[in-house]
Amino acid sequence: MSDTQNLTLVQAVRDGLKGELERDEDVVVFGEDVGKNGGVFRATQGLYDEFGEERVFDTPLAESGIVGTAIGMAAYGMKPVPEMQFSGFAYPAFDQIVSHAARLRTRSRSRFSVPMTLRMPYGGGIRAPEHHSESKEAFYTHEAGLKVVVPSTPRDTKGLLAASIRDPDPVVFMEPKLIYRAFREEVPDETYTVELGEAKTRREGSDVSVFTWGAMTRPSLEAAENLDGDIDVEVIDLRTLSPMDWDSIVESFKKTGRAVVVHEAPKTGGLGAEIAATIQEEALGYQKAPVTRVTGFDTPFPLYALEDYYMPEAARIEDGIREAVEF
Amino acid sequence: MSVLDTDPREQVQVLAEDGSVVEGATVPDLSEEEFVEMYRTMKLARHFDQRAVSLQRQGRMGTYPPLSGQEAAQVGSAMALDDQDWLIPSYREHAASYVHGLTLEGTLRYWMGDERGNKLDDLNIFPVAVPIASQVPHAAGLGMAANYNDTDEVFMCYFGDGATSEGDFHEGLNFGGVFDTPTVFFCNNNQWAISVPREKQTASETIAQKAIAYGMDGVQVDGMDPLAVYKVASAAVERARNGEEDKLRPTLIEAVQYRYGAHTTADDPSVYRQDDEVEEWKAKDPIPRMETFLRDRGTLDDERVADITESVEDEVAAAIETAEGFTRPTTDSMFEHVYADMSERLREQKAYLDRLRSDHGDEELLE
pLDDT on residue B128: 93
Cβ proximity of A252 and A246 under 8 Å: no
- Burial classification of residue B102, based on how many CB atoms lie within 10 Å of its CB (0-12 exposed, 13-18 middle, 19 or more buried): buried
Q: At what angle do helices B286-296 and B226-241 cross, to 10 degrees?
A: 90
- CA A152, A153, A155, A157: dihedral to nearest 10 degrees? 40
- Show residues of chain A in contact with B119, CB under 8 Å: 108-109, 111
SS3 label, residue A188: strand
Please tell me if residue A64 touches chain B, with a CB cutoff of 8 Å. yes
At B123-172, the pLDDT tens digits run: 999 999 999 999 999 999 999 999 999 999 999 999 999 999 999 999 99
Catalytic residue, from A100, A131, A132, A263: name it. A132
Contacts of A147 in chain B (CB under 8 A): 339
Choose among B126, B340, B344: nearest Cβ to A113. B340
| Residue B246's pLDDT band (cuts 50, 70, 90) | very high
Q: Report phi then psi at B339, rounded to 5.
A: -130, 165
Is A169's CB within 8 Å of B339's CB? yes
Contact B148 A95 (CB under 8 A): no
**Cβ distance of A28 and B148 shorter than 8 Å:** yes
For B327, other C-beta atoms within 10 Å of its C-beta total: 6
Interatomic CA distance for residues A41 and A32, integer angstroms: 12
Q: Is the pLDDT of residue B112 over 70?
A: yes
The answer to whether residue B259 is catalytic is yes
CB-CB neighbors (< 8 A) of A282 in chain B: none
A67–B145 C-beta distance less than 8 A: no
Residues 6+ apart with CB under 8 A from A230: none
Q: What is the pLDDT of residue B367?
A: 79
The full length of chain B comes to: 367
Q: Which among B119, B168, B338 has CB closest to A108?
A: B119
Closest Cα in chain B to A69:
B141
Q: What is the pLDDT of residue B365?
A: 87
A152/A219 Cα distance (integer angstroms): 11
Q: How confident is the model at residue B120 (pLDDT cuts 50, 70, 90)?
A: confident
Which residues of chain A neighbour B137 with C-beta distances below 8 Å? 64-65, 67-69, 71-72, 96
CA terminus-to-terminus distance, chain B: 64
Q: Is A284 within 8 Å of A276 (Cβ atoms)? A: no
Q: Is A107 within 8 Å of B143 when comparing Cβ atoms?
A: no
**Looking at the partner chain, which of A76, A111, A247 has a beta carbon nearest the beta carbon of B119?**
A111
* Residue A235 · residue A268 · CB < 8 Å: no
Q: What is the ipTM of this complex?
A: 0.93
Residue of B115, B140, B167 lying closest to A109 (CB–CB)? B115
Nearest CA in chain A to B146: A76
Mean pLDDT of B59-77: 97
pLDDT tens sequence across A212-233: 999 999 999 999 999 999 999 9
CB B72 within 8 A of CB B226: yes
> Position A320: which residue type?
G
Q: Is B222 helix (H, G, I), strand (E, B) or coil?
A: strand
B172 interaction partners in chain A (CB closer than 8 Å) = 65, 68-69
Contact state of A64 with B336 under an 8 Å Cβ cutoff: no
Mean pLDDT, residues A129-150 taken together? 96
Question: Is pLDDT of A185 > 80?
Answer: yes
Question: B15 has which bridge partners?
Answer: B21
Share of chain A above pLDDT 70, in %: 100
CB count, 10 Å around CB of B331? 15
Tell me the C-alpha distance between B126 and B110, whole Å: 13
Short-list B359, B27, B149, CA closest to A79: B149
Distances (CA, A) of B80 to A213, B96, B99, B221: 53, 10, 10, 15
The answer, for A278 touching chain B at a CB cutoff of 8 Å, is: no
Is residue B173 very low, low, confident or very high in pLDDT (cuts 50, 70, 90)?
very high
* Helix, strand or coil, per DSSP, at residue A83: strand
Show which residues on chain B lie within 8 Å of chain A, measured between beta carbons: 115-116, 118-121, 126-129, 131, 134, 136-146, 148-149, 167-168, 171-172, 174-175, 178, 333, 336-340, 343-345
Q: Rounded to whole angstroms, how far apart are CA atoms A78 and A22?
A: 14
Quote the mean pLDDT of chain B: 96
Print burial letters for B49-75: b (CB count within 10 Å at least 16), e (below 16): bebbbebbeeeebeebbbbbbbbbbbb
Chain B touched by A244 (CB under 8 Å): yes
Q: Which residues make beta-bridge pairs with A173?
A: A119, A149
Read off φ and ψ for residue A182, nearest 5 degrees.
-75, -25
Average pLDDT over residues A9-28: 98
- CA-based angle A210:A213:A218, to the nearest 5? 75
Measure Cα distances from B181 to A74, B100, B154, B156, B268 in Å: 16, 21, 9, 11, 39
- pLDDT of A1 over the 80 cut: no
CA-based nearest distance A188→chain B, Å: 28
The CA radius of gyration of chain A, in Å to the nearest whole number, is 19
- Å from B13 to nearest chain A CA? 33
CB contact under 8 A, B175 and A69: yes
Question: What is the rounded distance in angstroms from the CA atom of residue A139 to the CA atom of residue A137?
Answer: 5
Checking if the pLDDT of A121 tops 80, the result is yes
CA distance B154 to chain A (A): 13
- Look at residue B366 in the predicted model and tell me its pLDDT: 85
| Over residues B57-74, mean pLDDT | 97
Comparing CB atoms, the residue among B139, B167, B337 nearest residue A105 is B337
Contacts of A77 in chain B (CB under 8 A): 145, 149
pTM as predicted: 0.95
Q: Which residues of B touch A242 (CB under 8 A)?
A: 343
pLDDT recorded at residue B203: 97
Which of A51, A69, A99, A167 is most worth mutating to test chain B (most B CB atoms within 10 A of its CB)? A69
The 10s digit of each residue's pLDDT in A268-318 is 999 999 999 999 999 999 999 999 999 999 999 999 999 999 999 999 999
What pLDDT was estimated at residue A189? 97
Average pLDDT, chain A: 97
3-state helix, strand and coil shares in percent for chain B, rounded to the nearest 5: 50, 10, 40
B326-335, Cβ contacts within 8 angstroms, sequence gap of 24 or more: B326/B105, B326/B109, B326/B112, B326/B114, B326/B116, B328/B114, B329/B114, B329/B115, B329/B116, B331/B357, B333/A109, B333/B115, B333/B116
Which of the residues B100, B259, B260, B289 is marked catalytic?
B259
B81/A235 Cα distance (integer angstroms): 59
B345/A246 CB distance under 8 A: yes
Instruction: Determine contact: A147 vs chain B, CB below 8 A.
Output: yes
Q: How far apart are CA B267 and CA B65, in angstroms?
A: 9
Q: How far is B61 from chain A (nearest CA, A)?
A: 19
Task: State yes or no: pLDDT of A58 exceeds 90.
Answer: yes
Burial of A183 per CB tally in 10 Å (0-12, 13-18, 19+): exposed
Does residue A178 contact residue A215 with C-beta atoms inside 8 Å?
yes
- The reply to whether residue A72 touches residue B141, judged by beta carbons under 8 angstroms, is yes
